[in-house]
Amino acid sequence: MKTVGAHEARTNLGKLLKGVMKGESVTITKHGVPVAVLQTPVSLRKEQPEKVISELKKFREKNTLGTLTIRELIEEGRK
């Protein structure tokens, strides 16, 4: 993560925004103290499909239904 002072952020905002659009994050400091983080909104961040699939597989290995089936759970929810 890149760190810049408030004055530099004001001066180079356009350049910083271009970096953020490429996925970079920038911490803005005032007198050396972090006061803001410039980054893309969560809804615009793109995860790599391979990473997401891998994480889902790990989740499935750790979280099972035991002896229950999805159909049984659906039917139980309808009662």
Q: Which two tokens stand for residue 1?
A: 């993560």
Q: What per-residue confidence (pLDDT) applies to 67?
A: 87
Q: How is the chain split into domains, by residue range?
A: 2-78
First to last CA, the chain: 52
Q: What per-residue confidence (pLDDT) applies to 10?
A: 96
Q: What per-residue confidence (pLDDT) applies to 45?
A: 65
Q: Looking at the whole model, is its pTM more than 0.75?
A: no
What is the residue whose two structure tokens read 């890149």?
A: 2
Q: What is the mean pLDDT of each run of 10 residues along the chain (79 residues)?
A: 94 95 92 93 74 88 84 86
* Residue 54 DSSP one-character state: H
Q: What per-residue confidence (pLDDT) applies to 9?
A: 96
Q: What per-residue confidence (pLDDT) applies to 42?
A: 75
Fold of 2-78: YefM-like fold (3.40.1620)
Backbone angles phi, psi at 23, to 5 degrees: 105, 0
Q: What per-residue confidence (pLDDT) applies to 44?
A: 63
